[in-house]
Every structure is written in C-alpha cells, then in structure tokens.
Amino acid sequence: MHTPPTILAFDVYGTLIDTHGLVSMLEVFARDKAEALSMLWRQKQLEYSFRRALMQRYCPFSECTVQALEFACTSFQIELSESQRRELLDGYRSLPAFPDVAAGLESARDAGLRLYAFSNGLAADVESLLDHAGIREFFTDIVSVDEIRSFKPDPEVYRHFMKRAESGPERTWLISSNPFDVTGARATGMKAIWVRRSGSPVFDPWEFQPTATINDLTQVADVVITAR
C-alpha cells in the first residue's frame, strides 16, 4: 500500500531568507539607524499585509514592501533618491539565505520529505530569491498567497496550500520563524515547527502552540520523522 508523502511548507521571508540582509546597504544613508530602520521596515511590511487581509483590500506583497520602506524612511526623516530606493528594492529580491538553510533542506529532502516554499511573496519574487540563494532545487513547487489574494494568517491561505500540495493537515507541516504563521497553521489543523531564530523571542500565549520548536533548520528532518 502506497504511503502518501509528508509535506513540508517552508515559509520564506525570515525563515529561509534573512529579511535584515540589507543592513549594510542601509548604513550608507541611515548610518547608526540602519538596524532600527531595517526592523521597522519589516514590521510595517507585515502589518500592512495583516491589515490588507482583514480589509480584503489585497495588493501584492511587493507593494506592501515598497509602502513599508516609505513609512520607515519617513519615520527616521531619511529621504531616499530614486536610485537608492530602486537599489534597495532590487536588493530585496536577492536577500541572502541563513547559514543553516541549505544543509537543513538537503537533509529533509534526503529523508524522503516533500518540500514546498510557501510565501506571502509573489511566486516570481520567491523564485528569484531561492535561485539567488542557490536553494531552489530542493523544492517541489512554490505556493504563493497571491493565488487567492490574501495573506497569512488567513485560514484560507493554509487551506489553499494543502489543496495545491494535495495533502491533509495530518501530514502537512509548516516550518516558520514567524509566530503568527505558526499560529495560523495550527489553527487550521496543520502541524508546525517554530524556528526560533534570534534573541529570546516569546511565543504568543494562545491556545495554538508549535508542534515543536527548534533553533536550527538542520533539526527539521529529525523532528518530523520522529513524530510520524
């Protein structure tokens, strides 16, 4: 009897790809405010996606990124030239992967797990990111929320992923460093691994908790296989 494969849905921004990978570029005009600017840019990018999903006023994630950059720069009283803005936004399409990503994806694939990239970003943008990072080969496919014009953690986004992957919640795992993403997946019945990437973040004290918590993507395969 054929056993259906276990499906892994990897969040991209913040989990595989370092969203603060442009700090050195920001330092050119933001100087000692570069790190804080990068943090605010990311914070507003996510906030705008949440608000647009709730308002049912969808626009591509790339537009949320542009608007968030404008907000962050205005907040820090920084004026970008058109060429600087274009350089930063181009840089966002070629952000680096975290150091543990390639090894973690390789071990998961070699363990017989089926890997997908699952992102708020447009499929073409994600394709470019994964290609640039040298990790596209590990993924069966890319699933973008753009296909249903909403954003994580809308439950319809996770149901859409399972439909695309031809999978059910009992054999589908989300892997994400974003607590809101983990919570969204768990609320729809999926299993979820929280990748605790930086500092001492606290997970939301809700009724939906991670199936497992790890500090390094190379732990994913062992966690999933042990739980099967």
Q: Where are the domains of the chain?
A: 7-17+96-227, 23-92
Out of 3-7, 156-160, 188-192, least confident range: 3-7
Structure-token match 């259906």, residue found: 4
CATH class of 23-92: mainly alpha
Residues identified as active-site: 11
pLDDT at position 199: 73
In the predicted model, what is the mean pLDDT of residues 110-130? 97
* Upstream peptide bond of 169 is cis (omega within 30 degrees of 0): no
- Residue 41 pLDDT more than 90? yes
Q: For residue 132, what are the CA distances in angstroms to 25, 92, 125, 135, 220?
A: 18, 11, 11, 8, 23
The pLDDT value recorded for residue 29 is 86
From 88-92, 105-109, 111-115, 156-160, the region with the lowest mean pLDDT: 88-92
For residue 11, pLDDT over 70 is answered with yes
In the numeric block, the tokens 């943090």 are attached to 39
Correct CATH for 7-17+96-227 of 3.10.450.200, 3.30.1360.170, 3.40.50.300, 3.40.50.1000: 3.40.50.1000
| Identical fold, 7-17+96-227 and 23-92 | no
For position 54, what pLDDT does the model report? 97
Between CA 6 and CA 174 the distance in angstroms is: 11
Percent of the chain with pLDDT over 70: 99
Supply the pLDDT for residue 150. Answer: 98
- What pLDDT score was predicted for residue 1? 58
pLDDT at 198 exceeding the cut of 90 = no
